[in-house]
Every structure is written in C-alpha cells, then in structure tokens.
Chains A and B, each alone.
Chain A
Amino acid sequence: MIASYIGEFLVIFGTIFYLLSTLGLIRMPDVYNRMQTATKSATLGSLGVIVGTGVWAIDHVGSYAWLPKTIVIAVFLLLTNPISAHALIRAAYKSGIPLWEGSVVDRYKEALGAENKEGGEE
C-alpha cells in the first residue's frame, strides 16, 4: 500500500518539474538560459516519473521486476542528458548565437581570443 503512495507522489513530483521545464523554455531570454532550465528540470522530472512508475508497479502489478529496470533507465538518462545539453550549448556558442544583453561576463570569448592571437603569432 505504501509503495503505491510513494510511486504516485514521485510521478506527480516529476510531472510538476516537466511543467516547470516547459515554462522555463517560454520565460527565459536566450538559448543558454533556456538550456539551463530545460536540462535540469527535464532530467529530475524524468527521474521522478520513471522511478515512480517502478515503485508504483510493486503494488499495482504485484512485481518487483519493474523497479531495477526503471532504475537502470534512470541512471542511463542521468549520465547522457547532461552530455547532450553540453553538446547543444557548445554548438550554439560555436555557431555564433550571442549571449543575452544582461549577461555580465564572458570569459570564454576572452580565452578563445587569446588562443587565436597565439595561433596568429606562431
């Protein structure tokens, strides 16, 4: 009985973060800030929904076999999601999408500039 409540709580918790992630896509000003909200909330939301389903199945399907599988899926997601976010944000920067005008500092530009200068002198 308790597993059913924990599972339902986890699924609701996950869906709330899915909603926040979509809301973040609308509210944030530029691609970098959108990646921030989308990646974090979507990852935690997926973890909640996936593991929640596994816990819920203990009571409703009557089987413990779902839980290990859902945990494996959750771990794979946890390991791969940030890498895809990193690839996307780096590709966005390399293709020249500007930062939001409210941004305070851009060390990456300075580093790339320094590197190009060194390359030119050699």
Chain B
Amino acid sequence: MGEASRISRYLYTVIVLFVIWIFLTSSLDIQELEIGLVLSLIVGALTYSIFTESGLANLHPKRVAYAIAYVPYFLWAMLMANLDVAYRVLHPKRPINPGIVECKTVLDNDLGKLALANSITLTPGTITLDVKGDRYFIHWIDVKDASVEGASENITKPFEKFLKVIFP
C-alpha cells in the first residue's frame, strides 16, 4: 500500500489523539474539548510523520468493524491462554514440552506484523522470540508439530483472517 497524502495522515493522527484525550479526561465539557482539540492539533503536527502511513484509510468501515470484532475474539483467546497456563502451573507433573518453532505469515505490513506478534505472545502457550521478514520464531510451551506449515496452522492462522483485513 502506498503512502497516503500528508493531510489525510495528519487528520487521522489528530482524530486518534483526540479520542484518547476524551477517554483520559472522561468529560464532555466544552472547555475540556476545546483545549484537547488544540493540543491534539499541535501534537499531531509534530508526530504524524512517524505515527501512520495509510492515513484516513485506517477508518474504512470494514476495517473498523473487523477491529471491533477482533476484540472479544482476542480476549477469549487470552482467557483460554490463562486457563492453559493455570493448568500447567498447578498440575503436579508440570506437563510442558517446550521448543522454538518457525512460522510463516501472509501479512506484509509492519503494523500487522506487530499486532500478530502481540497476539501470539498473549495467546495459548506461545511467545514471540524474533521476527525476520515473514518468518516468526516462536517459543511454544507444548510443541505439537515442529514443521513450519504445521506450526503456522496452529499458531498464526486463527489471527491472520482478522489481521489481514485490519492491516491490508
């Protein structure tokens, strides 16, 4: 994806900053909103060039809908991960079978790769060790399939169907 125009990137940064401001002040008082908007405009002008590359295209309805749908899906996976950890910690025999496996991803966007790495770290039994290009090195606490294809099937597939829409 090519780079969006400067004005679109700037507006997107301001919108994100302003939403964070509204959440942090938790007040819809007109004075608070005014100073928040002014500060967002200033900070946005200073930081938009490192903040985003695709600008307002990030707010495409389909991508926002997938991002919202991703939240409960991810929280559920995280809860399962913690029950899994609880089982391994509390089980007297400590049933772990660790190893470092390699995965391939279909994502080619840096932000998407970051989101995938974060998701992998917080979901059942896996933690991202390193990313080189489209190869992920993952420490897996219970290795079921040491081959590249098998590991990708088990670890990255479930998230990619969401993330490739959110970060095309």
B60 within 8 A of A: no
Contact A93–B129 (Cβ < 8 Å): yes
Instruction: Select from chain A the residue with minimum beta-carbon distance to B120.
Output: A82
Do the beta carbons of B85 and A33 come within 8 Å of each other?
A: no
Number of B residues contacting the other chain (C-beta, 8 Å)? 41
Chain B: CB-nearest residue to A83? B118
Residues of A near B121 (CB, < 8 A) are 39, 82, 85-86
A12 to chain B, nearest CB (A): 14
Across-interface contacts of A66 in B (CB, < 8 A):
26
Given contacts A20-B82, A32-B98, A41-B85, 8 further A-B contacts (CB under 8 A): A39-B127, A41-B86, A68-B23, A68-B26, A104-B98, A107-B100, A107-B146, A107-B148
| B contacts, CB < 8 Å to A | 20, 22-24, 26-27, 78-79, 81-82, 85-86, 88-90, 94, 96-102, 117-118, 121-122, 125-130, 132, 135, 137, 139, 141, 143, 146, 148
Which A residues form the contact surface with B (CB < 8 A)?
Answer: 17, 20, 23-24, 27-30, 32-33, 35-37, 39-41, 43-44, 64-69, 71-72, 78-79, 81-83, 85-86, 89-90, 93, 99-100, 102-109, 111
A–B complex contacts, Cβ < 8 Å, 6 sampled: A17-B86, A28-B96, A39-B121, A78-B122, A86-B117, A102-B97
